[in-house]
Structure 1
Amino acid sequence: MIKRYFYLFFFLFLLLNYIHTFSKANEIKIIAKIGNDIITNFDLEDEKRYLIALNKNLQNLENETLTKIAKESLIRENIKKVELLKYYDLGQKNQFFDNTIMEIYKNLGFESLEKFKNYLNDEKLKYKNVYMKIEIESLWNQLIYSKYNERLIINKKDLEREILKNKKKQKFIKFTEILFSFDKKEEINLKYDQILNDLKTNSFSEIVAKYSISDSAKNSGSLDWVNENILSNRIKNKIKNLNIDEVSQPIIIPSGALILKVDDIKFVKNEINLEKELEKSIQYEINNQLNNYSIIHYNKIKNKKIINEY
């Protein structure tokens, strides 16, 4: 009889301990408050899954680094969403959003939307939530264009001249970027020295997560291949002597200070189609300027917000 009571007591003890552990693990915690909006630990875990689903390279990061990226991503999304609600009705179906989704799932190797939805389901993500994220980013870009397109400065003659410098041999570079903000110019070299010091013990992707304010931080700072000819002279002068895996000096741009790491270099020999190359150069320059305006506009809004992180 005593033995039976002992086993019963032991079972109850284990059960209560399990319930306590389970409830603690599933406890909702506020990790950030932006105005009246909150971000919870559940939101954070969903964001981690979302970021990894769209970029598997992120799963190689340490959890602390990934957590920082996800938290910053959620804060940016919340601030953008609140701003967009002043101009747009969210939750509307749009062919442009659908095309963006298609581009994403095709880049991930999926042949159809249905297969992409199944993939998201396997990753414990809801398609409607992913669609909303794409909608926010797309509308944000639309808002930035509507506000700043008249300020874009494109010098076609200069771009054409740069393209024609190397008719038969073009140099393409793949970069990873860190974009950081500063209040005074003296801060630039101090932060740059900190970054170089951190690189002695950390990977560049971890440094990106720690310092970069660019949306590219979601992708570990990785950028697409770019034709050297279409880079601005300011950037070209800073990277022209860099070899693979080397890091540039800070480059001052309107949205902050930019540091570029050369990931790879390739040379392509071909006859240039001037019209097509000029079109690419113009689009690159437009995107570059709009990206700067996007960061500047976002920071203006963010600086007016009361953000508490826990």
Structure 2
Amino acid sequence: MKKISVFLILIITLLLSETSYSYENFIIHKINNEIITEYDVKKEANYLRALNPNLKNLDILKLTKLALNSIVREKIKKIELEKNNSLGENLDDPMVLSTFESVYKNIGIKNEDEFEQYLKKFNISIKWTKMKLEIESLWNSLIYNKYRNQVSIDKEEIRKSLKKDIKLRKTQKKILLSEIVIKFNSNQDFLSLTKMIEESIAEIGFSNTANTHSISGSANKGGKIGWINQTSLSPKILTEIKDLVNGEYTKPIKIDSNFLILKIEDSVITNVQIDLEEALNKRILNERNKQLDQFSTIFFNRVKKNIIIDG
């Protein structure tokens, strides 16, 4: 009952006018020594809406739940990172700046000044945004350094598959992809899980379903992966998407212990000479990133088990 009451109070206060601050310091969760207040959740909801304009169509209950889950994930990562990092001192790091730039370009903004003006509409500062992206960047570095030697890629097998694929191809297709990654365990009913995801997509759209249910790092961006050369994708993925048209998405694809749903947002075909080595490197990078994402989920769940979450 306590959890239900806390969440109801949070919803009610978020529905009040923005001039009401009665509960803005009301503590919703405590993650070890890190606290999450009603104000934090409201600010996180604004941040998520800023980075994914599609969230404006999400009802307040789902947006609040999404924001709360987003903060909890960030706090857990922050606690782990603070063991070996001084957060707030890496805002000018090239990796952080690169992540920062990709975020605002992803929503069609040209430069930092324009992004700063845009964020002001949501009562968010540039520095606060960079601090959040610093956590994501450092977390990705941690995962890379920790697991890079465990990434297993058969370069020659990929080269052989790629050569075969290129021989059959006189054109190159680029695809704008979005994803939903669903964690699945043996205690769940696959058909019920699939039905729930499909009903969510039908009700609130693919992007908002990714925000709400996906465990991938792309979740906060509505599942957006970006433009991918078709030759960069694995044969398994190519088989699943080859008959799809723009706007359609795949059935769940089994990837290790998770399921992946891919949507083709857009695509273009060009007549080009495909560079084998360039295509090979891109496919290897894509496979490496996929494996690192899986390691990230595994490590995050391990860290979470050692953290006390109250509320």
Same fold (TM over 0.5): yes
User: What pairs with 1:217-256 in structure 2 (closer than 5 Å)?
Assistant: 217-254=219-256, 256=258
Q: Give the one of 59, 74, 78 matched to 1:77.
A: 74
**1:215 aligns to what SS in structure 2?**
coil
Give 2:41's aligned residue. 44
Structure possessing the higher radius of gyration over alpha carbons: 1
Counterpart of 2:149 in structure 1: which amino acid? E
**In the alignment, does 2:262 pair up with 1:274?**
no
Shift of the alpha carbon at 1:110? 5.3
Shift of the alpha carbon at 1:36? 3.1
CA distance in 2 between partners of 1:22 and 1:107 (Å): 32
Give 2:32's aligned residue. 35
Shift of the alpha carbon at 1:125? 1.3
Q: Give the one of 279, 289, 292 matched to 2:291.
A: 289
Shift of the alpha carbon at 1:116? 3.5
User: In 2 relative to 1, CA 208–120 (structure 1 residues): closer, same or farther, beyond 3 Å?
Assistant: closer
User: What pairs with 1:253-264 in structure 2 (closer than 5 Å)?
Assistant: 253-254=255-256, 256-264=258-266
User: In 2 relative to 1, CA 145–27 (structure 1 residues): closer, same or farther, beyond 3 Å?
Assistant: closer
Give 1:140's aligned residue. 139
Give 2:123's aligned residue. 124
Once the two structures are superposed, residues 179-201 of structure 1 have per-residue CA deviations (whole angstroms, 9 ceiling, x without a partner) of: 12122075333211222244444
Does the CA-based 8 Å contact 1:177-1:221 persist in structure 2?
yes
CA distance in 2 between partners of 1:254 and 1:22 (Å): 48
User: In 2 relative to 1, CA 239–221 (structure 1 residues): closer, same or farther, beyond 3 Å?
Assistant: same
Once the two structures are superposed, residues 120-141 of structure 1 have per-residue CA deviations (whole angstroms, 9 ceiling, x without a partner) of: 3343112221121111111001
Shift of the alpha carbon at 1:147? 0.4
Give 1:95's aligned residue. 93
**2:30 aligns to what SS in structure 1?**
strand
User: In 2 relative to 1, CA 55–22 (structure 1 residues): closer, same or farther, beyond 3 Å?
Assistant: closer
Structure 1 residue runs without a partner (length 5+): 1-20
Q: Cα RMSD (Å) of the superposition? A: 2.7
User: In 2 relative to 1, CA 199–127 (structure 1 residues): closer, same or farther, beyond 3 Å?
Assistant: closer
Counterpart of 1:257 in structure 2: which amino acid? F
Does the CA-based 8 Å contact 1:255-1:296 persist in structure 2?
no
**2:123 aligns to what SS in structure 1?**
coil
CA distance in 1 between partners of 2:19 and 2:229 (Å): 53
Once the two structures are superposed, residues 153-192 of structure 1 have per-residue CA deviations (whole angstroms, 9 ceiling, x without a partner) of: 2222233334332342223333332212122075333211
CA distance in 1 between partners of 2:217 and 2:158 (Å): 26
User: In 2 relative to 1, CA 186–235 (structure 1 residues): closer, same or farther, beyond 3 Å?
Assistant: farther
CA distance in 2 between partners of 1:106 and 1:186 (Å): 38
Does the CA-based 8 Å contact 2:211-2:221 persist in structure 1?
no
**1:248 aligns to what SS in structure 2?**
coil
CA distance in 1 between partners of 2:192 and 2:215 (Å): 17
Counterpart of 2:177 in structure 1: which amino acid? F
Structure 2 residue runs without a partner (length 5+): 1-17
Q: Give the one of 43, 56, 60 matched to 2:57.
A: 60
CA distance in 2 between partners of 1:42 and 1:179 (Å): 29
CA distance in 1 between partners of 2:54 and 2:139 (Å): 26
User: What pairs with 1:163-174 in structure 2 (closer than 5 Å)?
Assistant: 163-164=162-163, 165-166=165-166, 167-174=169-176
Give 1:9's aligned residue. none
User: In 2 relative to 1, CA 169–180 (structure 1 residues): closer, same or farther, beyond 3 Å?
Assistant: same
**2:218 aligns to what SS in structure 1?**
helix
**What TM-score do the two structures reach when normalised by structure 1?**
0.81
Counterpart of 2:256 in structure 1: which amino acid? P
Alignment size in residue pairs: 289
Give 1:184's aligned residue. 186
Taking only the aligned residue pairs, the percentage that are identical comes to 38
